[in-house]
Structure 1
C-alpha cells in the first residue's frame, strides 16, 4: 500500500502546514513589493508568475483540462479569490496599518465555516467553533498590538472587509470543484482566471516594472511562485480531504507565524501582547484541528456526495 493511502491525514496536514508557512512569508514580501507596485499591478504580476509556474507543472504532468463539472467552481474561485481578493487586499493594506488589515481579513475563516455549513452541508462541531473563537481572539490581540493608531481609513477598512468576503466565497466555491478535478488542475486554471481578470492592470505593471527596484520585483515573483503556485496547490490538496471550515481555521496560524518571521527577517521585536495573541492563535488552531473520537466529520466530508445545490 502506498504512503498516500496509508497516511492521508498526515499528508493533508503537511500540505496545510506548507500553505500556512508560505502565506505567512507573503506578508514580508508584500510589504517590499507594495512599495514599488500598485495594488492591481502587484496582483497581476504575482498571478502571472504563479500561472506560468503552475502551467509548466501542469504541462509536464499532462493532467489535461478539468472536467466540465469543475469549471463553475474554478471560475468563481479564480475571480473571487485569486483576482478580486488579491487586488482588494493589496489596496486595503495601503490604506490601513498591518495590524488592522490582519484583524479584518481574519473574519474570512469565520465566514468560510458559516458558508460551508450553509452551502456545502459541512458540519460545525463544537471543537471547531471553540477553536475558531480562541484563534479569532488571538487575531484581535495581534491586530490591536500591531495597529499604529490613526493609520486606518474608512476606505481601507471597507476594502479589507470585502477582501475577506471574496476570500470566503472563493474557498467555498473551490471545494466542490476539488471533488471533480485534481488540486493541480483547480489551482492552475483558477490562477489563470485570476490573472486574466487582472489584465486591465497590464499597463500599470509594465510602467511600474521599469522603475521598480530589483528586490521589489523579485519579491513579486516570489509571491507568484511560492505563496501562490505552491501554497494554493497544497491548500487545494488539503481542502479536498477535509471541510472548508476546518481548513479556514488552520489559517489562523498565519498571524502567529507572521510575528515570528517579522522578528527574524525584519528585526521587529514583538511585544508581550503580540506574543500572547500569537499563542492564542496557535492554541485555537490546535483545538479546531482535534477530532472527536468517531472522526465522523472528516470522513463524511471526504466520502459523502455533495449537496445538489452546489453541484
Structure 2
C-alpha cells in the first residue's frame, strides 16, 4: 500500500504557512539590511536555523544520503539554497526596492513551471501557465506601483541571479527527494549553507556588536521561521506535490508582503500596487485552486501533477515523518 499524507490537504496547509513566513522575511530584511551586510546577515540567519534544527540530528531524525554522489548533490543544493541564494538576494535589495526585488525573484515560479514540464515530466497545463502569467502581471504592477526610484543594472542582474538560483534549487530538490528524506535534506542543506558562509564570520562579529537588538532578533527570526521551519514544511509539501504546481503558490508572496507591510508597518500600498496584489491572488488561485479543492474533498488522495504520491516515499522507506518531526 502506498503511503500518503495523513490528509491530502496537509501539503497545501504547509505551503500556506511557508508563503506567509517567506512574505514576512521581505519586511525583516528591509529593516535589518540597514545594520548587516548581505554575507553577515546570511551567516547569522543560517546559524540560527542550524541551532533550531540540531535536535533533529541529536534525536536521530536525520538519515545521511546513501552514496557519495548523493552526499555531493545534497551538499551542493544546500550551498546553492542556503548560502548563494540568500547572499545574492540580500545584495540585490541593496540596489533595488523590495517590490522590484520580489518581482525579479518571482520569475522563478514561471521558470520552474516550464522546466518541470520539460525536465521532470510534470503535467504542464494551459491553466497552470495562464495562472502563472496572470499572477506575474500582478507582480509587475506591484513593482511599478511601489517602486521608489530608478532601476540599478547591478541590482537587476543580482535579482535575476537570485531567481535562477531559486528555480534551480527547487528543481534539484524535487529530483533529490526521490532518494533523500525531506527532513534530512533540509538539515544537511542548512548546515552546508552555514559552513559555506563562515568566511563572513569576521564581518558578522563586527556588525553584530554595533547592531540594535531589534535587528539582531529580526535576523534570528529569519533563521528560525522563514528558514528552519519554512523549509521543513516546504520539503514536506514538495514531496507530495509537483514542483511546478507548488512553486506557483509562491506567486502569492508579493501580495502577502504588501498586506503585511500595510498591517504591520502601516504602509498603505499605492492603488496600482493594490491592483497588482489582487492579480497575484487571482492568478495563483486560478493555477492551484483545482488541486487544492481536490485535496479537500473527503476520501480524495493527493494525486497532483508530478506528485510523488504514486510511489513509495523516502519517508516510508526510512521512517522519517517530517510533518511530525521535532521542531517541525
Find the counterpart in structure 2 of residue 31 from structure 1.
30
Q: CA deviation at 1:188?
A: 0.7
Matches within 5 A, 1:73-222: 73-150=73-150, 152-222=151-221
- Cα gap change, 1:107 to 1:299, in 2 (>3 Å): closer
Deviations 1:40-81 (A, max 9, x none): 110111011111111223323533323336434422321222
Query: TM-score, with normalisation over the residues of structure 2?
Result: 0.86
Change beyond 3 A, Cα 1:212–1:225? same
CA-CA distance at 1:195 after TM superposition: 1.2
* Residue 22 (str. 1) matches residue 29 (str. 2): no
For residues 103 and 62 of structure 1, the distance between their equivalents in structure 2, rounded to whole angstroms, comes to: 37
The whole-number CA distance in structure 2 between the counterparts of 1:288 and 1:252 is 10
Check whether the contact 2:11–2:237 (CA below 8 A) recurs between aligned residues.
yes
How much does 1:301 deviate? 4.5
- Give the stretch that moved more between structures: 176-185 or 261-270: 176-185
Cα distance in 1 for partners of 2:263, 2:253 equals 15
CA distance in 1, matches of 2:62, 2:190: 16
| Structure 2 unaligned regions, length at least 5 | 295-299, 314-328
Q: Once the 2 structures are TM-superposed, how far is the Cα of residue 125 of structure 1 from its aligned partner? A: 1.3
> CA 1:41/1:299 → structure 2, altered by over 3 Å: closer, same or farther?
closer
Deviation per CA, 1:135-173: give whole Å up to 9, x if none: 1011111111111122x2111111111011011111111
- Is 1:42–1:220's contact at 8 Å kept on the other side of the alignment? yes
Cα offset, 1:33, TM superposition: 1.3
- The answer for unaligned runs of 5 or more in structure 1 is 307-311
Give the TM-score taking structure 1 as reference length: 0.91
- d(CA) in 1 for partners of 2:116 and 2:72? 17
The equivalent of 2:321 in structure 1 is none
Q: Would the alpha carbon gap of residues 296 and 236 (structure 1) be closer, same or farther in structure 2, given more than 3 Å must change?
A: closer
- For the structure 1 residues 234 and 297, does the alpha-carbon distance in structure 2 shift closer, same or farther, using more than 3 Å as the test? closer
- RMSD between aligned residues: 2.2
- Whether the 8 Å contact between 1:127 and 1:290 is mirrored in structure 2 is no
Aligned length: 302
